[in-house]
Amino acid sequence: MRPALRRGGLEVRDPGGAAEHRLSAGGDRPARRPGRSRLRQGHPLLRADGERPRGAGHRAHPAARARRRARAHDRRVPGAGGRQRAAVGARVESLDPGLPGRLHRREPRAPAGAVDGGGRQRGLPGRHARLPRKATAEVPGALSPGVRFAFLSSTPAGPTEGSGTWVALDGLARGLERLGHTVTRRPLRARTGFHTLDRWLYNAQVAARPPAADVVVGVDLDGWLWARPRIRRPGAVAGPPAVRARPRFVVALKGIIADELRNEQGVVRWLLARQARWERLNTERADRVVVPSRYSAAVAHDVYGVPRARLAVVPEPIDLGEWRRRFTVAGTPPPHPPTVLSVARMYPRKRLDDLLRAAGVLRERIPGVRVRIVGEGPESARLRALHGALGLGETVTFLGDIPRQALAVEYVGADCFCLPTVQEGFGIVFTEAMAAGLAVVACRAAAVPELVEDRRTGLLVNPRSPEELAMALETLLLNRGLRADLGAAGAARVGAFDLEPVARRFVEAATA
């Protein structure tokens, strides 16, 4: 129409803005492209640059039914070249690059006839409804330095007992300090030998001596006795509830207890169920709930009922500078047989028994192969008994808990890394292995496919399949070029998870 209007002497102006189509409730989920098969489960890879490629599927997701219901509400609009793309608002795309659109609050609908920032009316049909692939809206939140953070954590201090939770918390605190913020930590001091009781006593002490800070961060269930529930104003019949006077409270879920207990039995499962109730109360009382992966975001929403508007995804940090110094000190390893390294706290969900059975298959195909396992835990005795029953001998070596510098030596001396875990909120050991330039073998389960990209930074197999695990390890050990390519891609990818970038994202999420 523009040429015809110009011929008539009329002036035509085009501000270049893109119209935006609004979605119905539950419809803020990206639509698939025509002709491409739809993944029935799984999440895109975590990326710092906001790109959101599809991740490998997994069947362990507790929110699968919610995703299936969401498919019925997909909305598509025409795009360039006849391709369809999902209609997603700018706020949905930009609020948190790590969180899928369906976990965000949708913007209120504009009044009829309102014009958006680009000067185009909403609801225009056809090609006028094109949407940009990337939104440019800025992330909200107070980023000024000098925020006082107080961290509450009843997780035992140190990487040995505290495992990945302590490592992630320590890295985040140091990253925040590098950005100019003040961080205080209230660690677990009194130990009775009964961890559930320790956690309750810790939280009772927190309630008796409340923290003084601008932002209080409760790790997992910690803070639940101190954080008062939201209350409604007297006489109010609608609107959000008022919040009692207290500092801003952010819950950082590392491993969601209600998800972890599915792999436990007996008394341990019962005790974890009690802790999961406390954790749920904690999320209900929080101003913001931060999780390390999209998988964890979906679990928190599905199992604890955390509103999508209060969820934010911030990956776990790794101190790349510190690890690179350790690798340099470790030096070049001497010649050695094909070696697989695994690092884990020995819980049932880590499925190290699958790795032992895979090692039994692998030694028949690659004589002299070695599997080295770092870590201890509740499963130690059972795994050592299985090692003897399978007659693995020197093929598998249990190293126990070792210092961090000794762990760096193990990373440098390995040919690839393997952990067949079936429940993982993030997986810090995968980032450590990638920082060492190791290709990874893991399972399509939980958050693992978001971190380990199949056939780009590692190889993914089906959970609880020792035979597939052995085949993937054999493929890597017999193909030096493939190992090098996957390892180099992993080393490049892990840079997005360094301390300061992750700390910035945490501040954005915590103060938004």
- Please check whether residues 218 and 279 belong to one and the same domain: yes
Q: Are residues 171 and 251 in the same domain?
A: yes
Instruction: Tell me the C-alpha distance between 346 and 344, whole Å.
Output: 6
SS3 of the chain: helix, strand, coil, percent, to 5 = 40, 15, 45
- Write the secondary structure of 99-132 as one string of H (helix), E (strand) and C (coil): CCHHHCCCCCCCCCCCECCCCCECCCCHHHHCCC
Looking at residue 9, its pLDDT comes to 56
Give the chain's domain count: 2
The reply to whether 260 and 227 lie within a common domain is yes
Q: For residue 443, is it within any domain?
A: yes
Spatial distance between the Cα atoms of 425 and 407, rounded to a whole number of angstroms: 22
In a domain, 2, yes or no: no
Clarify whether residues 293 and 414 are in a common domain: no
Q: What does the pLDDT look like over 209-238, one tens digit per residue?
A: 999 999 999 999 999 999 976 554 455 444
Give pLDDT, residue 90.
Answer: 31
- Residue 40 counted as domain residue: no
Bridge pairing between strands 288-291 and 311-313: parallel
Domain finish residue from 270, 298, 314: 314
Give CA–CA dist 235/253, Å, rounded: 34
Q: Which of 186, 474, 181, 180 is nearest to 338 (CA)?
A: 474
Q: 211 with 329, same domain?
A: no
Whether residues 273 and 341 share a domain: the answer is no
**Residues 332 and 290 occupy one common structural domain:** no
Q: Do 289 and 373 share a structural domain?
A: no
What is the per-residue pLDDT across 90-116, written as a single tens digit (0 to 9) for each?
A: 332 333 333 333 333 333 444 443 333
Full residue range of the structural domain in which residue 464 is found:
320-496
Give the per-residue pLDDT at 68: 42
Per-residue pLDDT at 145 = 66
Do 300 and 397 lie in one domain? The reply is no
For the chain, residues with pLDDT lower than 70 are: 1-145, 229-245
Residue 104 lies in a domain: no
pTM (predicted TM-score)? 0.72
Instruction: Report the phi/psi class of residue 233: left, alpha or beta, with left for phi > 0 and alpha for psi in -120 to 50.
Output: beta
What whole-number distance in Å separates Cα of residue 468 and Cα of residue 474?
10
Q: Are 54 and 460 in contact (CB under 8 A)?
A: no
What the block records as the tokens of 289 is: 């709930």
Q: Which two tokens stand for residue 439?
A: 């290709």
